[in-house]
Copies of this chain bind each other. A is one copy, B any other.
Amino acid sequence: MTDRVVPPAARQRRRPTKQGVVLSPELIVETALRLIEEHGADALSVRRLGRALGADPSSLYRYFRHTDDLMLAVADELIGRTLRTWRPTGDWLADLRDLGLRMHAGALAHPRAAMLSAHRVTGRVHEIQAVESILGVLRRAGFPDPEAVRIYHAFVDQALAFGALDSAGTALPRAAREAEAEVWRSTYGRLPADTHPHIAATASRLVATMRSSSYPAALELLLTAARTHLDHVRAGTGE
């Protein structure tokens, strides 16, 4: 068996499985996404996916070389979906905020895929489109090129990094997540003021905010800083 994966173009014999399902890469990716959404990230295994599809697990290896390959296909589908719903308005600040939140939400909707694909450069159409759009927003807003590239880089990496970080959180088994919440409540909520004054003074706030993502706040900070830079640029040119 050199390679059991047949290129899509060569596929023709649509032979149904024992349970009457006709497999296809699209159907497999869709089912994987559905499985993740409905039963949590750890519900995705080749065997479970096979069961959900009504096919033998090993059949999937006719379509994807291995699990990683499948996850990348899922991730690619996600990029497409995120970008497809973004409608830039011309207000650079609002547009970037909107896109950032969309990217983050997209990642959280499919944690496993986000974690696997956050650090990979695909060089595919959707990714290129995204780069062009974001750079366009920044340059039209008046950022000089070096600044635009720097902010673009920080913006994208921040969205991806937080997406992956928060995804990892939601991808945890239920028991582990509850354990974390309990740690915040019982450990950080009860430290005495004489040994840990700063934690004690802010404990309730800490416990309350720790369970939510800090991405919106971090995004806002990034955008604030960007606007500050832009103000300086404009002041410099005498506007």
Which A residues lie at the B interface, using CB under 8 A?
A: 68, 118-123, 128, 131-132, 135-136, 139, 145-146, 148-151, 153-154, 156-158, 160-162, 164-166, 168-169, 172, 176, 180, 183-184, 187-188, 191, 196-199, 201-202, 205-206, 209-210, 213-215, 217-218, 220-222, 224-226, 228-229
Contact present for B225 and A132 (CB under 8 Å)? no
Cα A183 to Cα B120 with chains together (Å): 11
**B135:A214 contact, CB within 8 angstroms:** no
Contact B199 A135 (CB under 8 A): yes
Are A160 and B165 in contact, with the CB atoms below 8 A? yes
- Residues of chain B contacted by A220 (CB below 8 angstroms): 225
Residues on the B chain within 8 Å of A120, using CB: 180
Contacts of A188 in B (CB 8 A): 123, 128, 131
**Copies of this chain, tallied across the complex:** 2
Interface of A (DSSP majority class): helix
By beta carbon, the residue of chain B nearest A183 is B123
15 A-B pairs (CB sep. < 8 Å): A68-B176, A119-B165, A120-B180, A121-B180, A123-B183, A123-B184, A128-B187, A132-B196, A135-B198, A154-B214, A157-B213, A157-B215, A161-B162, A221-B222, A224-B228
Distance in angstroms from A33 CB to nearest chain B CB is: 19
Cα A197 to Cα B168 in complex, Å, equals 36
**Complex interface: chain B residues within 8 A of A213 (CB):** 157
Partner among B131, B154, B187, B199 whose Cβ is within 8 Å of the Cβ of A217: B154
Whole-angstrom distance between the alpha carbons of A161 and B43 in the complex? 24
Q: Name the residue on B nearest A156 (C-beta).
A: B214
